[in-house]
Amino acid sequence: MPGRYDVNQLLADARSRIVRLSPLELQDAMASGAVVLDTRSGGDRIREGTIAGSFHVPLSVLLWRVDPVAENSDPQINDLDAPLVIVCNDGYSSSWAAATLLDLGFSNPMDLAGGFRAWSAAGLPVVGIA
C-alpha cells in the first residue's frame, strides 16, 4: 500500500506536469488562440467579473465538457490539441484540473498561476456578467 500524500505533494506533482502561465503570458496566449476555461463559481464570477472570451465551465463538470467522448461534451472546448488554460480563483484547483486533462489525452493543458485574482491584480481587463 503506497504511503499517504498530502495536499502539497499532490499539488506539486500536478504542477510539475503542466505549463503555468503568468497573467501577461495568458494574455499573449489568448491572442494566439488559447481557450480559457473559467472554473469559478457563478457567485465569484458575478462579484469579481470574468476574462473576456472565457468559457464558464464549473469544475464539477469540467471533465465531462472537455472530453470528446463524453455524453455532454462541448464541441467548442473539446479539441484534444487546443491550448486550454484553466482558471480558478487563486491557481490551486486549476493546476489539478490541467494535470487531469493531460491524463485524458489533451496535449496542451495549462493553468493561470495565481488564478483570476492574479489576472485582476495585474490590471488586466475584467468584464462583468449580468
Question: What pLDDT tens digit does each residue of the chain (130 aa) get?
Answer: 568 889 999 999 999 999 999 999 999 999 999 999 999 998 999 999 999 999 999 999 999 999 999 999 999 999 999 999 999 999 999 999 999 999 999 999 999 999 999 999 999 999 997 5
- CATH number of the domain that residue 72 is part of: 3.40.250.10
Integer Cα distance of 85 and 96 in angstroms: 12
- Residue that has been written with the C-alpha cell 499539488 in this structure: 11
Catalytic site residue from 84, 88, 98, 113: 88
Domain membership flag for residue 94: yes
Domain-embedded: residue 6: no
Active site residue 88: yes
pTM tops 0.85: yes
Range of the domain at 111: 20-121
Flag whether 81 is in a domain.
Answer: yes
- The backbone torsions φ and ψ at residue 29, rounded to the nearest 5 degrees and listed phi first, read -65, -40
130 is a domain residue: no
CA 105 remoteness from chain centre: 16
CA distances from 32 to 5, 21, 50, 96, 112 (A): 37, 14, 19, 24, 16
